[in-house]
Amino acid sequence: MHRNLVKLCAALSILASAHALLKVIDSPTRQVKSLDGFWDFLPDMDHEGIDQKWYEEPLDEAGPIRPMPVPSSYNDIGNDWELQHHVGWVWYEREFNTPALWLNKKGEYDPEDRKIYLRFESCHYHVEVVSSYPFSLTHSNISLAF
């Protein structure tokens, strides 16, 4: 089974909503994998992660990570006063197993053979997504699904 890594560099906070409009559901032609759960989390208090390319290495090499539940608002988790009042960049990282149905016969992802869509139900303001698959995306908006 292939392992995939997804990193999020988010301005402000990531707030996932389980009740978004047009929620994706499993069907005979669509398989859904939830990434809800604990993610590695690192606040970027000095906004240095992009310049130092934290996205190129495991997040724990950039600093002390902590587990952060998703969906949640990091400002509401724990009793760290600085984090509760932080408005700025934070990083989330999650590794997961790619379902075999998403891969070709060689066990590799082939974008010509199958499309994989990441859906974020609610991220606050600005998000940059980096994946071990050959893509990345940037999204700026209020807390809407994308």
| Cis amide bond preceding 58, omega within 30 | no
**What pLDDT digit, counting tens, does each position of 41-68 carry?**
999 999 999 899 898 899 999 999 999 9
The DSSP letter of residue 88 is S
Spell out where 12-135 has E strands. Answer: 37-43, 66-70, 89-98, 125-131
Give pLDDT, residue 18.
Answer: 41
**What pLDDT digit, counting tens, does each position of 13-43 carry?**
333 334 445 677 888 878 888 888 999 999 9
- Residues 126 and 22: their CA atoms lie apart, in Å, by 21
Please give the order of strands across the beta sheet that includes 2-11.
66-70, 37-43, 89-98, 2-11, 125-131, 136-141
Q: Return mean pLDDT, the chain.
A: 77
More confident residue, 10 or 142: 142
**What pLDDT digit, counting tens, does each position of 81-114 carry?**
999 998 888 898 988 888 888 888 888 888 888 7
The half-sphere exposure of 13 on its side-chain side, counting CA atoms within 13 A, is 18
More confident residue, 128 or 90: 90
State pTM to two decimals: 0.75
Q: 145 and 21 in contact (C-beta within 8 Å)? A: yes
